[in-house]
Amino acid sequence: MKNIKDIDLKNKRVIIRCDLNVPMSSGTISDSNRIIKCLNTLKYLLSNNCKIIILSHFGRIKHEEDKEKYSLKIVAKKLSEMMEYPVHFINSCYGNKTKEIVDSYPLKSIIMLENTRFMDLVDKQESHNYSELAKYWASLADIYINDAFGSSHREHASTAGICKYLPSAVGYLVKEEIENLKPLINIDKRPFTIFMGGAKVEDKLPIIKKLLPKCDYLLLGGGILNSFLKAINIEIYDSLVTEDPLIIRELKELYISYENKIILTKNYIVDDNKILDINIEGYKKYLNESNLIFINGTPGVFENDKFKKGTEDLLNYVKTLDAEVIVGGGDTVSAVKKMNLENEYKFVSSGGGATLEYIADGTLKALEWIDK
């Protein structure tokens, strides 16, 4: 797969897909990490005298009313501050007029188009990878760069289809993710232990099924633990659990097939009749033994101070080990940041679902479209 270093970008018009889907709280950006992660590639493009056209999605757009909340205008402003360079925001991402405006900017300009998912309001054109839309975006530039690792598990017009119409390569962020996640794909260190927590087992079950043959231990927390416990007939009160009996049956079968790998603690914190956190004590012996550890999903409801101990203990404990530790996932990384532990691990991945799919499959759907 080509990366940004493999192609001649000098004086070119480059359209770049970033992942600027930043978290918001009461109308302001609550965490700029995703913007920071793009700066490297953008600065490199500027230093090559490129005209830069930025595409990104932002939030979920289901109705016309969602547009106001998820305009990228506020992100363009923040990016401009961080780059210390003008970022020209265009309040549309499609059409002749938009093309005229984009075309009018000279080299060494940074232009940000409006949220790509606005195009989902008619026929889900972005999410369903409409070729007409991909072709339109391609018509604005000479080269396409994908630097949106966190969105590359999806084949959308802006992450996949566009590659058909332009020379393509990945940017520095994607390159760094791929290089750093390599140990989790060609597992060269064992025992390899995965801790998986988080809310919904439905989201993570397909990944769990792919990871079980690869790992040596799977330690569980969160709603996933609850569902496994239920599957083996342990009382979980009113805890968060999957309602789907087929999933429960599948979990039971998995547990029987991988009884020595799937480790379920019974040491948990119950409040208001719900399991809301775990005590990680019983997991330490597996972690101690491991040479490679991957953590995704929090052991408990860490957002609530009363139930953050399991998350804090786990994140603090693994940093004291000799094992190579890699952490990924939106909420998990926000816990890492809250605790100022970003530099304590071998790697902290910027992706959530994308990171999980990457380590399960060894590739991501959108990256398969990039020039070889």
- For ligand ADP, the binding residues (CB under 6 A) are 197-199, 222-223, 240, 275-276, 296-298, 300-301, 303, 329-332, 352
Q: Whose Cβ is closer to Mg ion: residue 41's or residue 349's?
A: 349
Supply the minimum distance, in Å, between the C-beta of residue 300 and ligand ADP. 5
How is residue 3 annotated by DSSP? B
Query: Taking CB within 5 to 8 Å according to partner kind, which of ligand ADP, Mg ion, none is near residue 150?
Result: none
Q: Whose Cβ is closer to ligand ADP: residue 109's or residue 332's?
A: 332
Q: Whose Cβ is closer to ligand ADP: residue 150's or residue 300's?
A: 300
- By beta carbon distance, the residue nearest Mg ion is 331
Q: Whose Cβ is closer to ligand ADP: residue 167's or residue 282's?
A: 282
Query: Taking CB within 5 to 8 Å according to partner kind, which of ligand ADP, Mg ion, none is near residue 197?
Result: ligand ADP
Q: Are 54 and 90 in contact (CB under 8 A)?
A: no
Angstrom distance (rounded) from CA 327 to CA 311 = 12
Q: Is the peptide bond before 191 cis (omega within 30 degrees of 0)?
A: yes
Query: Taking CB within 5 to 8 Å according to partner kind, which of ligand ADP, Mg ion, none is near residue 351?
Result: none
Q: Are 370 and 197 in contact (CB under 8 A)?
A: no
Identify the burial level of 124 via C-beta atoms within 10 angstroms of its C-beta, where 0-12 means exposed, 13-18 middle and 19 or more buried.
middle
Q: Return all residues near 109 (Cβ < 8 A) that are at least 6 apart.
A: 51, 52, 86, 88
Residue 169 pairs with which residues in a beta bridge? 145
Q: Whose Cβ is closer to Mg ion: residue 171's or residue 351's?
A: 351
Q: Whose Cβ is closer to ligand ADP: residue 161's or residue 222's?
A: 222
Query: Taking CB within 5 to 8 Å according to partner kind, which of ligand ADP, Mg ion, none is near residue 56?
Result: none
Angstrom distance (rounded) from CA 145 to CA 299 = 36
How is residue 50 annotated by DSSP? -
At 33, which amino acid appears? N
How is residue 365 annotated by DSSP? G
Supply the minimum distance, in Å, between the C-beta of residue 120 and Mg ion. 21
Query: Taking CB within 5 to 8 Å according to partner kind, which of Mg ion, ligand ADP, none is near residue 332?
Result: ligand ADP
Query: Taking CB within 5 to 8 Å according to partner kind, which of ligand ADP, Mg ion, none is near residue 199?
Result: ligand ADP
Query: Taking CB within 5 to 8 Å according to partner kind, which of ligand ADP, Mg ion, none is near residue 15?
Result: none
Query: Phi/psi at 13 (nearest 5 deg)?
Result: -95, 120
Angstrom distance (rounded) from CA 246 to CA 206 = 13
Supply the minimum distance, in Å, between the C-beta of residue 172 and Mg ion. 25
Supply the minimum distance, in Å, between the C-beta of residue 314 and ligand ADP. 12
Q: Whose Cβ is closer to ligand ADP: residue 75's or residue 240's?
A: 240
Q: 192: helix, coil or strand?
A: strand
Angstrom distance (rounded) from CA 165 to CA 137 = 9
Supply the minimum distance, in Å, between the C-beta of residue 273 and ligand ADP. 12
Supply the minimum distance, in Å, between the C-beta of residue 174 and ligand ADP. 19
Supply the minimum distance, in Å, between the C-beta of residue 313 and ligand ADP. 14
Output the six-digit token pair for 122: 């008619």
Positions touching Mg ion (CB under 5 A) are: 330-331
